[in-house]
Structure 1
Amino acid sequence: MKIIIINGPNLNLLGKREPEVYGNETFETYLKKLQIQFPNVTLEYFQSNIEGEIISKIQEVGFTYDGIVLNAGAYTHTSIGIGDAVKAITTPVIEVHISNTFSRESFRHQSYISANAKGVIIGFGLQSYDLAIKSFI
């Protein structure tokens, strides 16, 4: 099984950015834990702060991988293009968010991804990724 985790803007700052919301662990450290936890899954990782790069990656893997775990960050709430890319592919997508977006600013309550995702996991910290991977297994 081949799954890719795609993270959007500012998620490269995990471990430094707002630890009261996002925790103290870097994503790279957490990814190593996931790879140990799921030894029979090929886990790849991609992060970009650039909307077009995220769309290109979704299109690149969206017909050949077994799953995409997508945390588009703030683009979740603004990017029709990322939503359209998810709709255009055949690989199932699980939308994840580390924080509970519904307990935050009202603009974070809208997602352009959810309608075309297999599912949405919100508010379980980094464990949201773990739960998304389990949903594909």
Structure 2
Amino acid sequence: MFIVHGHNREAKFEVQALLGRLGLEGVILDEQSGRGETIIEKFEREAADVAFAVVLLTPDDQGGVATATLDALKPRARQNVILELGYFAAKLGRGRVCALRQGAVEIPSDYNGVQYLGLRRGRRVEDRDCRELRDAGLRVDMNRL
């Protein structure tokens, strides 16, 4: 399982801990050795054998159309997060990608309509939050929550 993240370290570690409690191991790219590779080479190597991706859409950046005023900018996920969301949606299929959206983070227009789960600090994990993992065929031990 791959955890895609931006700058929100708290969210990254919270999801990693949750997956650990469920008996799943989450690959976090910046925790893997580089072996002298470029970032994209490292990403492709680590992403090659995963069966599922959790993508954290956290408000790390702001953006809008080129003519937007500063007050019209919207919270956005990091560009690497959006690239990797698209990569995993194409490689694994949308049914094997769980997007966790924090707040009013802008969703890429081509991804509109795809269901995502809300990511709120201090929120209790519920059975329905793990349904995506179970339905993707991953062995999830709910008793470990």
TM-score for the superposition, normalised by structure 2: 0.48
Which structure shows the bigger proportion of residues in helix conformation? 1
TM-score for the superposition, normalised by structure 1: 0.50
Q: Please tell me whether Structure 1 or Structure 2 has the larger radius of gyration of its CA atoms.
A: 2
